[in-house]
Amino acid sequence: MKKIITLVDEKKAKKGYEFIHFSIPEECKECNLFSVCMGNLELGRRYRIVGTRDYEHPCKIFGKVKVVEVEEPEILATVESRVAFVGSKITFKSIECRDIDCKNFPYCSAEGLKSGDRCEIVEVIKKVECKIGKDLTLVKLKRIQKSRAF
């Protein structure tokens, strides 16, 4: 998985910290560090800090931000059991369910993945009970990033 250089709040700039890039504040759009800070992250994606650097910059929102290396982590998700095999490459589709109290809901929505993402199943964890009757298995997915043509 390729590493991305970005900036995060100095208080959260620790190896292993995970976050989801949800939105871009208005204050950031005019910042001269926008392209390295928010510009190279994709909205709705989960990232994990895998390295930190000894550089800081002032920030209108956080006070100070630090330079870090991030990558997309593997994500726990439920998939139809018929495709739940290690090494399978699937097109992810979130499970449509409105029961937010269900213990599996976070895995059925799998924040950080989007319906249509190509993923590889890297680990099969267990079959899960589904309140709406679907045959589901909890797996660990790694998104397959499209290579950019130059």
Is 89 contained in some domain?
yes
Q: Which of 46, 71, 96 is the last residue of a domain?
A: 71
Asked if 53 contacts 27 with a C-beta cutoff of 8 angstroms, the reply is no
pTM score over 0.75 = yes
pLDDT digits (tens, 9 = 90+) for 109-148: 899 999 999 999 999 999 999 988 999 999 999 999 776 5
Q: What residue numbers bound the domain in which 85 lies?
A: 75-143
Do 63 and 95 share a structural domain?
no
Rounded average pLDDT over 12-39: 92
Rounded average pLDDT over 47-69: 95
Q: Please tell me the predicted confidence (pLDDT) of residue 149.
A: 52
Is 150 contained in some domain?
no
Asked if 138 contacts 81 with a C-beta cutoff of 8 angstroms, the reply is no
Do 63 and 80 share a structural domain?
no
State the chain's mean pLDDT as an integer.
92
Q: Please tell me the predicted confidence (pLDDT) of residue 148.
A: 55
Do 79 and 66 share a structural domain?
no
Rounded distance between C-alpha atoms, residue 134 and residue 24, angstroms = 36
